[in-house]
Amino acid sequence: MGNPFEKGIGIGCELVDRENRHLNYLRISITDRCNLRCLYCVPEGRIPKLPHGDILSYEEILRLVHIGIGLGIRKVRVTGGEPLVRKGVIDFLAQLTRIRELEDVSLTTNGVLLAPNAQRIFDAGIRRINISLDSLDAVKYAQITGYDQFKQVWTGIERALEIGFMPIKINVVAMRGINDDEILDFGRLSLNHPFHIRFIEYMPIGNSRTSSRDQILTPEIQARIATIGELIPVSNGHNDGPARRFCLKGAQGEVGFISALSQHFCSHCNRLRLTADGKLRACLLSDHHAPLRELLRSGGSDGQLAEIFRIVVQQKAAKHRLCPDGMTTVKDQMQGIGG
Ligand code: SAM
């Protein structure tokens, strides 16, 4: 990100942590429910669901977004669980995109419900969309996610392309012996389509059915992709995340690598996370958080809620403590935090 002041995005940001990072990006998980059970995200057996009353209402989330904006938040991503399973999500997206101060509102989805909703999501003002897709093979997709939904997701991606979402990012968690034989296919997908393929390193978070032994780190993925063609670096725009971006020579799209483990990007992390049950987290990879819900529901003032934002920001660790040996894990589940 460089010096945020150069690009104007740090101006007015009160959320500056001890490392002088300007936290202007809020990722909001609107539900812990998901219509898939991905191997690397969900444990064996039943997962306890948050009681309905524990989940923040859209009005409560919007109030927190406005408080965040007053402190300098300029970018919001809606995630989950699976955001598209929550009733009313499209109206909620429209309310977010109407907020003048937000420079960017985006959505992360598994794409299962995208095809029938894509036009309404676009009409709600969303342009940037991330779709998680870990296999291009329907059988393997069902093995990874627990559901035979590849066709629905692919149709959703095609629909998003027709409608004009830009960019369409495809998130791939590459795992050894599971989908690593498709790394090149995903790379090739960027040749003839304007997709931004994002390879995300598996992170040991909560209980799942994969382990760090299955993890493939970026240097290996990148070396494999480089066998297809020359990888030309693409520079990041100010609304871009931590991905290191490249374009295969002659490609319409891009490939990018999100390397939480092999290459810490903590030094320029600008993110805060709001969980579906109203916890504010300063780091995906630390269970440290502050609850906002009780204060929100017991008549807390905007000033008091803002103070919690400031406190969480001051407690943001300089660096996360996960290492590739997988020894340190985060106890909370990813579907509750939102990725
Ligand atoms: N349901 C939505 C989806 O699938 O995109 C949004 C929530 S999901 C938790 C957000 C992202 O987190 C997905 O791209 C998913 O692949 C990623 N993810 C989940 N568990 C992960 C893990 N253990 N390591 C790395 N990425 C993970």
**Ligand 1, CB cutoff 6 Å, lining residues:** 34, 40-41, 79-80, 82, 108-110, 132, 171, 173, 200, 202-203, 205, 208, 334-335, 338-339
For residues 236-259, average pLDDT:
89
pLDDT at 320: 80
With respect to residue 12, please indicate whether it lies within any of the assigned structural domains: no
For residues 174-201, average pLDDT:
97
Q: Cα torsion for 47, 52, 57, 60, to the nearest 10°?
A: -80
DSSP string, 229-296: S-EEEEPPPTT--S-EEEEETT-SSEEEEE-TTTS--GGG--EEEE-TTSEEES-TT---EEE-HHHH
In the predicted structure, residue 1 carries a pLDDT above the cut 50: no
With respect to residue 16, please indicate whether it lies within any of the assigned structural domains: no
Pocket test for ligand 1, best of 171, 262, 320 (most atoms within 8 A of CB): 171
- Select from 221, 230, 223, 225 the least CA-distant residue to 184: 225
Host H or E run for residue 150: helix 150-163
Strand partners, 171: 132, 198
* E-only strand ranges, 51-155: 75-79, 104-109, 128-132
In the predicted structure, residue 207 carries a pLDDT above the cut 90: no
Neighbours of 122 (CB within 10 A): 17
Neighbours of 63 (CB within 10 A): 16
- For 100, the domain range is 25-337
With respect to residue 19, please indicate whether it lies within any of the assigned structural domains: no
In the predicted structure, residue 127 carries a pLDDT above the cut 80: yes
Q: Residue 185 carries which side chain, given as an amino acid letter?
A: D
What proportion of the chain, given as a percentage, has pLDDT over 70? 92
With respect to residue 32, please indicate whether it lies within any of the assigned structural domains: yes
On whether the CB atoms of residues 129 and 96 are closer than 8 A, the answer is no
With respect to residue 91, please indicate whether it lies within any of the assigned structural domains: yes
Structural domain tally of the chain? Answer: 1
When mean pLDDT is compared across 25-39, 77-91, 325-339, the lowest value belongs to 325-339
Quickly state the pLDDT bin for 9 (edges 50, 70, 90). Answer: very low
With respect to residue 15, please indicate whether it lies within any of the assigned structural domains: no
**Measuring CA to CA, how many Å separate 118 from each of 124, 152, 294?**
10, 12, 35
Quickly state the pLDDT bin for 230 (edges 50, 70, 90). Answer: very high
The CATH number covering residue 118 comes to 3.20.20.70
With respect to residue 8, please indicate whether it lies within any of the assigned structural domains: no
In the predicted structure, residue 7 carries a pLDDT above the cut 60: no
Pocket test for ligand 1, best of 109, 334, 335, 337 (most atoms within 8 A of CB): 334
pLDDT at 6: 35
pLDDT digits (tens, 9 = 90+) for 269-288: 899 999 999 999 998 878 78
pLDDT at 8: 38
Q: Are strands 128-132 and 104-109 parallel, antiparallel or unpaired?
A: parallel
Q: Which atom of ligand 1 is nearest to the CA of 134?
A: 16
With respect to residue 284, please indicate whether it lies within any of the assigned structural domains: yes
